[in-house]
Structure 1
């Protein structure tokens, strides 16, 4: 019998949990549900909860770097790619030098250096090619 499971949160390692939580709150909305020096919870009525956990020796992941292991990054579907990009830049994100998605995607780096991707609603649709 299969176990019933549901994803409830994604935890992001970073040097300053409250700073990063406020960055994502500025973009996504939601509210800080709990916070201490080492762990912050950002909740929303629509999305998976984001948790931010202090890691004092956290190196920003390289983007892109084929010699570095791939790490988790967050993807967001947006109605206006350029407005979302500008909003994130105003909140402290940086535009990644490498932009592989043409006019359908934008790659930014959050204040802790994690890559995050913005996608048009069309590009964010679930591809079914090669489904098992």
Structure 2
């Protein structure tokens, strides 16, 4: 019988936890954790999932799609609105868009301000 585990937190390394938390807060509408600070910030979702951002000295952003500096993880988000509209809003918030887009009509690969790749999927 497999373990019955429930995902409770995801934490991303970054150079500026408060700035990265602000980006994801604006993108998702999640609530900022009240104890967020310059070394560790977080966002809470109603169901208890916590997304954390921890300061790492000499942080090096992933180099997607090449693996010179591996991505280590990526997050996927479903969007209900048009992919073009969601992409435009995220780019306005500070996301980046790599040139390589494997299936741009079905999903988009963007990078957050710290360089972590994430995908937008049609909802």
Query: How far apart are 1:67 and its partner, in Å?
Result: 5.2
Residue in 2 aligned with 1:72? 73
TM-score, with length taken from structure 1: 0.83
Q: How far apart, CA to CA, are the structure 2 residues paired with 1:44 and 1:74?
A: 15
Q: How far apart, CA to CA, are the structure 1 residues paired with 2:71 and 2:93?
A: 25
Residue in 1 aligned with 2:46? 45
Length, aligned pairs only = 121
Q: How far apart, CA to CA, are the structure 2 residues paired with 1:100 and 1:116?
A: 13
Residue in 2 aligned with 1:59? 60
Structure 1, unaligned runs of 5 or more: 122-132
What secondary structure is seen at the aligned counterpart in 1 of 2:21? helix
Runs (4+) off by over 4 Å = none
| Equivalent of residue 110 in structure 2, options 108, 111, 115 | 108
Select the structure of larger CA radius of gyration.
1
What secondary structure is seen at the aligned counterpart in 1 of 2:12? strand
Query: How far apart are 1:69 and its partner, in Å?
Result: 3.7
C-alpha distance after superposition, 1:77-130 (max 9, x if no partner): 111211110110010011111100130011111100111110112xxxxxxxxx
Structure 1 residue 30 corresponds to structure 2 residue 30: yes
